[in-house]
Structure 1
């Protein structure tokens, strides 16, 4: 059986939950798009990336975020890399150019190509985010993710309380119902949780919040699947906390919606950190090949 991973900017999360798939073809880069087996999230499809600079960029990028090429280190000489990847000098240089554009590499005259410090990496780039998820998730990653969520999601909930449509409210409540119906350890719980937060960003009516939700989608999917509730009490606490957000949005109360959302994000940080400490297995990243997607607002 397969479940849909929520797609960025979709206006029909209920259809996603039913496994329906409508709209134009998505690109390979759209990490969040697609229908994949349970316990999986997405990364670019190797068969679609094909041979050449995309393959080399992916291999080098994964090596950088995994620490094979440490921050500040100079990449091996060009002949070494050419022999390793079996590509032309033109394709290798194109791959390096791609990674430089993502903030991972910096070419210096007479020095070589150096791996830049992590702070320079563009973690809002979907490839970089996917490689980071594939390499490791630690407390710092969870903290940084929670901080960007705290900066965005309560504000999105407040805007949603002012701008929501009947369809938005119905979608949020449908996600809550799905969370309530699914035992915490059922992957369907994490899918409904993710769909709820993407609906929330969508209901804000703010295009920038749409975009942030699309970028962080893969990270949230992994974290939600790692940290879903393991006992009935935690399960009830979680779905009720999301129900409080939906109720505040339905009531048109921006302040209450923001407060309820902050509670959920902070709880998620604690649960995720506990899962990391306990050594919870992470879902496996799998290729994201072209699929159909819904339309944006």
Structure 2
């Protein structure tokens, strides 16, 4: 799940196409995030994991190297592969974030996701209102309209909202802000499934559509203050749904 939108497309339960390499990465990465391989523990031996996953040593070692690059594991001679401290994990990596979707999350972690998203996207909205071009405005309007049409479909609505935020980041002209898209996608996924019933979830989707309409209108007008306000309201709505409507734990 490294492409933008992959996590949201999984909401429908449709299996994603995958190869052995991504399969092994996802299995080990998700197990680490869920605590099945606790921080500080040594992963099972190569032989055991090769048998469990039905893959070659080459595929397994490539997967472990990928996880090491994400800061999640560390290979130690004569010891094995140890799960790294969470402080070393790359939380801006789209796969690392996606693995948190199925895990039991504590309320502080979820709140922290929205805090960072708010800080980054406020700046993106400000810059987008100053730097956007006609084609970006056309695309923003198109995807907001798709949000309107998809209010009865959680997955399609979230995918359309992701496009609004992705294009807004592009319009900001700051390439470093693109690293926030994985974080945005996780928060949208958490929001999409949160709520006591479908009526509550649909009401949240309607509210989010309204906030994004206001956001796009402000960006088109070049009103940076209104853009930041609309973005903050959209994020606050998502935070309220994700924190109060999802079963969370406390550390």
Instruction: Give the alignment's TM-score, normalised by structure 1.
Output: 0.68
**Which secondary structure does the structure 2 equivalent of 1:73 belong to?**
coil
Counterpart of 2:79 in structure 1 is: 111
What is the rounded CA distance, in whole Å, between the counterparts of 1:172 and 1:152 in structure 2?
19
Larger strand share, 1 or 2: 1
1:253 paired residue number: 223
Equivalence map 1:66-145=2 (5 Å): 66-87=34-55, 89-145=57-113
Which structure 2 residue ranges, 5 or more long, are not aligned?
none
Alignment partner of 2:100: what SS? helix
Q: What is the CA-CA distance between 1:184 and the residue it aligns to?
A: 5.4
Structure 1 stretch displaced more, 149-158 or 235-244: 235-244
* Inter-CA distance 100–80: structure 2 relative to 1 (3 Å threshold): same
Q: Which has a greater percent of helix?
A: 2
**Change over 3 Å in CA distance of 1:41–1:129 after alignment to 2:** farther
In structure 1, C-alpha distance between the alignment counterparts of 2:144 and 2:186, rounded to whole Å: 21
**Runs of 4 or more above 6 Å deviation:** none
In structure 2, C-alpha distance between the alignment counterparts of 1:109 and 1:91, rounded to whole Å: 20
Q: Is the 8 A contact 1:165 1:203 kept in 2?
A: yes
Structure 1 unaligned regions, length at least 5? 1-27, 279-297
CA contact (8 A) 1:41 1:221 kept: no
Is the 8 Å Cα contact of residues 129 and 221 (structure 2) preserved in structure 1? yes
| TM-score calculated relative to the size of structure 2 | 0.79
| Change beyond 3 A, Cα 1:73–1:134 | same
Contact 1:187 1:225 survives alignment (8 Å): yes
Match of 1:289 in 2: none
Contact 2:125–2:228 (8 Å) recurs in 1: yes
Q: Matches of 1:79 and 1:179 in 2, distance apart? A: 48
Instruction: Specify whether residues 223 and 59 from structure 1 end up closer, same or farther in structure 2 by C-alpha distance, changes over 3 A only.
Output: closer
After superposition, where does 1:1-297 map in structure 2 within 5 Å?
29-32=2-5, 39=12, 45-46=17-18, 49-50=19-20, 55-87=23-55, 89-183=57-151, 187-213=155-181, 215-216=182-183, 218-227=185-194, 230-231=199-200, 234=204, 236-277=206-247
Q: Deviations over 1:231-269 (max 9, x none)?
A: 576555433222222222122121221122112112211
Q: CA RMSD in A?
A: 3.4
How far off its partner does 1:105 sit? 1.0
Distance 2:22 2:204 in 1: 43
Counterpart position of 1:22: none
Larger RCO (alpha carbons 8 Å, 6+ apart): 1
Return the alpha-carbon distance in structure 2 between the equivalents of residues 122 and 262 of structure 1.
Answer: 25
Q: 2: distance between equivalents of 1:163 and 1:196? A: 16
Spell out, residue by residue over 1:212-244, the C-alpha distance to the aligned partner (whole angstroms, 9 max, x if none). Answer: 32x335424422422488357655543322222
Name the SS of the counterpart of 2:71 in structure 1: coil
